[in-house]
Structure formats: structure tokens, C-alpha cells
Chain A
Amino acid sequence: MGCAMLKKRLIGVITVRRGWAVQSFGFRRWLPLGRPEVLAQNLDRWGVDEILVQAIDRSVANRGPDFELLERLGRTGLSTPLIYGGGIATLADADRAVSTAADRVCVDALLRDNPREVDRISRHLGAQAVIGALPLARRDGTLRWLDHRNRGETPLLASALGLFQAGVVSEALLIDWRNEGAYGSFDEALLEAFPVAEVPVIAFGGLSEPAQLRRVLGMPRVAAAAIGNFLNYTEHAVQCYREQLVGVVLRPPSYRAMGQA
């Protein structure tokens, strides 16, 4: 039991490259972890609030979503909500991802390439099912948006920001890509600098230390913290975080098997 209000979430991130779950460091170095569906089952059993599976090489190679992976994830019978990102370029892609296994989809390159298609996806699936991912960095006091396909940076495009302002996407996944995988290094100023105040934010990239998680989750605009590598170093890591974050509005720690009634 907990207080009767909407909780902030701890999201477990599984980064997938070439079909394998990897530890990711700064969007440029990867170490293998194993099969994504096994990691998803672990996170499910350990009671994370949502699972984000991001297949980081699908847009780069223009290969579309990894539906085989989604089918394998679907077969595991996860009892935790699943967000899928990677290669979603059309409404058909998003629709199939949801009908296969995902509860929500995360779009990244599509925000840049085709905002109208993001709008079509939102109208079909509902904005609550659509998250916009933005890998960001601050340089000379301004926000720079990484295009991970060519590693180029641009300012945030008005067309993409419009999707957040208009409520076409329900949450912004703000990724501190430079600090991803580095302990306690998330650049909290990104959260203040993101210009759309109305949209709830998921913070990701270098969030590992309870003190920083407490500060970040304490910000009214932050709905969730996403954690990747650091959930894989300890069993029940998410419950350990919950124990250390007493006072933050989270689900309370629990060690019962989550999928069993």
C-alpha cells in the first residue's frame, strides 16, 4: 500500500544493439549483457514500474522495428508495462508494435523526420501511448539535440517541439546522452532548460545515485526516472532504490514475486 496519488516511476531501460542487450556508455561504447527478453523478465520479477526496450541500431540501419524481439518479449508474459523504441517510422510500425507486445511506443528519429506521422500515430493509439525521446546536451548555454544516426547536433526543431506543446506525445524522454552509463552524472540543468513546461518528463542518462534520483524525482515536471546499466548490477536493484528513496512518491518497496496473484 502507499499514499493515494499518482506515483513517480522508476523505469528499467534495456538497450538492444544487434539483437543483444548491452550496457551503453555515452551512446558510443557497448558491453554485452545477454538476451533482452531475459533481462525483461528479471525487471518484471523485480517490480520495476515500466520497462523501456530501446533497439538503438534500428533507425541507424533503416531496418524498422525489431518485431522478432517484440514477439519474444510478448511470449514472456510480462506483467509490467512495456515501452518499445527503435525504428518506428510509420503508423503501421507503431500499431504492430502495440499489437505484438508494447503498451507504449517511443519515437526519436521520427520526431525529426516526420512530425505528421507522429501525429497520425497519436490519433490512432492515443497520445498517452506515445513518448518522444530527445537525446540532449547543453553547449554554451543552449540545448543541442543529437541525431544519433549521424552523430550531428542541431537546436531543438520547432516542428518537434510543437508535438510536445500540442499534446501529441504524452511524455518527453530527456536523455543526457553524453553522461549515459556514468555514475551519478545526469545533467540536471537539462530538465530546467527543456522549453516545453506542460509535458511530463522522463529523465534518463547517468542516473544512479539515490541523492540525485531524489532531487530529480522531486521536480514537479519529472514523472519518472529511467535507469539502464545500474539496474543490472544488483538483484532487486529497483527495490533497493525504493528503500533509499523513502519520502519520494514511489510505490513502496516489495519483494514478493510481482507477476503472481
Chain B
Amino acid sequence: MSPRRTVGIVDYGVGNHTSVWRALHALGYRCRVTQDTEVLNGTDLILLPGVGAFPSAMQAIESRGLAEYLRSRAREGRPFLGICLGMQLMADSSSEFGHTAGLGLIPGQVVPLQQAAWHIGWNTFESVGRDPLLRAIDGESVYFNHSYVFEAPPEYSVGVARLMKPFLVAVRRENVVGLQFHPEKSQSAGREALRRVINGLCDA
């Protein structure tokens, strides 16, 4: 039986941590919701949630002195998961409300979705590439709520969804994974995705 993991949910004042915390708790993980890097150091996986606009989120991270900590944590090879805006913050930059630098954990830019004004609702997740991490939810519907997308080189793509054309909704660079959908609000498929990613990264 695998040890009980502790997930550090980064509290930078943006978004709904409660939903993520509840979902993880229901899956049997311990959680620490904090901006204290000492506390985050004691966790098995960093989870970066997020709701809202990219610039204000990056500003909130910078103002708490967390940006460099998050970069170094990812560089050290420690497990790292970003959800929705938290995934987008992993990019090099975003064009939302002007140019803003991101955390630069995975190469790429965050740009407006071209195929529609928004991508809201349940859409099919398609696992791509040979990465087994998200294969279990290939073909499942998960919940999206965003208008910007992460454009990354294909070697970092592990999942797409489609409107008229496919676009990137899951990225991975070694120990760092980003999910554009909300696994905590995607019912059974979302919880399965959370479980697979957290255990997969922690066991790697």
C-alpha cells in the first residue's frame, strides 16, 4: 500500500482552494493550504490552483515572494501540478490584458482561444503521446472554463480537447504537469485524473 501523500496547495489569494482541498481529501490525501514555503517544503506535491486573469495571478504570486520558490521547486524535480489558470501560469508568458511573464516551467505562451470566445462546459479529453499518466481518462468528459489556451511545443503535449480543431489541454515536462480542465469539478473522471497524476508523479 502506498504511503499517504501530502499535497501542498499554494495559497496566493486567488481562486477557490476549498473545492480542490475537498476533492483531494475525499481521495485520501493530506493537504496543506498555505503560502508558507517551509510548510510547502514538507509536502510531496505542489498544487497550483487558480481562477481569474493571468496578470493579477502572477502579481499575487510575485507579491508573496513565491515565484522563485515555485521555479526552484520545479527545477529540483519535485512533483508539481497546475490546474486551469495554474497550468497557464507555468508558461513563459501570457498575452491576457497585455504581455505578462509567467513562471516559465514549461516552454510556451498563453494566447486567446481562436476557435471560440470561451470554452465552457464538458468536453472530451483525449490523451496524446505515449505518456501513461492520463490515459485512464482518455475519452472521458471533463469540465472546462477558460478563454485562453497554453500553446506549447508538441513534445510537452499530453492531452487535447476539440472545438473545431484540437487544442492543448494537458502539458507535461518531467515532474511538472498542467491540466486546463478542473479535475476537482469533473466528477468521477476528474477525481480519477487527480489520483493518477498525483500518484504517478510521486511514484516516478
A: which residues have CB within 8 A of B?
A: 1-9, 44, 47, 49, 74-75, 77-82, 98-104, 123-129, 167, 170-171, 198, 200, 223-224, 251, 256-261
CB pair B162–A5 under 8 Å, yes or no, is yes
A224 to B126, CA, bound (A): 23
CB pair A2–B187 under 8 Å, yes or no, is no
CB pair B15–A3 under 8 Å, yes or no, is no
With contact pairs A125-B52, A258-B188 given, residues A102 and B16 touching in the complex (Cβ less than 8 Å)? yes
A182 to B6, CA, bound (A): 50
CB pair B124–A2 under 8 Å, yes or no, is yes
Chain B residues touching A, range: 35 or more
A123 to B182, CA, bound (A): 20
Q: Which residues of B contact A103 (CB under 8 A)?
A: 16, 19, 51, 145, 182, 185
CB pair B185–A124 under 8 Å, yes or no, is no
With contact pairs A4-B162, A101-B16, A198-B117 given, residues A129 and B184 touching in the complex (Cβ less than 8 Å)? no
Q: Which residues of A contact B126 (CB under 8 A)?
A: 4
Interface residues of B in 39-93 (CB under 8 A from A): 51-53, 56
A223 to B117, CA, bound (A): 13
CB pair B56–A79 under 8 Å, yes or no, is no
A257 to B118, CA, bound (A): 29
CB pair A257–B140 under 8 Å, yes or no, is no
With contact pairs A6-B121, A79-B23, A103-B16 given, residues A47 and B187 touching in the complex (Cβ less than 8 Å)? yes
From A6, A224, A259, give the contact of B119 (CB < 8 A): A6
With contact pairs A77-B26, A129-B51, A129-B145 given, residues A261 and B192 touching in the complex (Cβ less than 8 Å)? yes
The 7 residue pairs across chains A and B that have the minimum distance between CB atoms:
A77-B22, A261-B191, A258-B187, A4-B124, A261-B192, A1-B139, A7-B122
CB nearest neighbor in A for B162: A4
**19 residue pairs bridging A and B, Cβ less than 8 Å apart:** A3-B124, A4-B139, A5-B124, A5-B163, A6-B122, A6-B123, A9-B122, A98-B51, A103-B51, A123-B53, A124-B52, A128-B120, A128-B146, A198-B117, A223-B121, A251-B141, A257-B188, A259-B191, A261-B191
With contact pairs A74-B18, A224-B121 given, residues A1 and B52 touching in the complex (Cβ less than 8 Å)? no
Q: Which residues of A contact B25 (CB under 8 A)?
A: 77
Q: Which residues of B contact A82 (CB under 8 A)?
A: 185
From A5, A78, A101, A104, give the contact of B145 (CB < 8 A): A104
CB nearest neighbor in A for B17: A99
In the assembled complex, B190 has its CB within 8 A of some CB on chain A: yes
A47 to B187, CA, bound (A): 8
Given contacts A4-B123, A103-B182, 16 further A-B contacts (CB under 8 A): A5-B163, A6-B123, A74-B19, A78-B19, A79-B186, A81-B143, A81-B182, A98-B15, A98-B16, A103-B51, A127-B147, A129-B145, A170-B118, A170-B120, A200-B118, A261-B195
From B16, B97, B146, B184, give the contact of A123 (CB < 8 A): B97
Q: Whole-angstrom distance from the CB of B122 to the nearest CB of chain A? A: 5
In the assembled complex, B202 has its CB within 8 A of some CB on chain A: no
Q: Which residues of B contact A224 (CB under 8 A)?
A: 121
A170 to B17, CA, bound (A): 23
With contact pairs A123-B97, A124-B53, A129-B52 given, residues A6 and B191 touching in the complex (Cβ less than 8 Å)? no
Q: Whole-angstrom distance from the CB of B182 to the nearest CB of chain A? A: 7
A123 to B53, CA, bound (A): 7
Q: Whole-angstrom distance from the CB of A250 to the nearest CB of chain B? A: 9
CB pair B188–A261 under 8 Å, yes or no, is yes
A49 to B23, CA, bound (A): 17
CB nearest neighbor in B for A199: B117
Q: Which residues of B contact A8 (CB under 8 A)?
A: 121
Q: Which residues of A contact B119 (CB under 8 A)?
A: 6, 128
B127-146 interface bits toward A, Cβ cutoff 8 Å, 1 = contact, 0 = none: 00000000000011101011
A104 to B19, CA, bound (A): 13
Interface residues of B in 171-204 (CB under 8 A from A): 182, 184-188, 190-192, 194-195
A172 to B163, CA, bound (A): 20
Q: Which residues of B contact A260 (CB under 8 A)?
A: 188, 191
CB nearest neighbor in A for B22: A77
CB pair A6–B51 under 8 Å, yes or no, is no
With contact pairs A100-B18, A104-B145 given, residues A9 and B121 touching in the complex (Cβ less than 8 Å)? yes
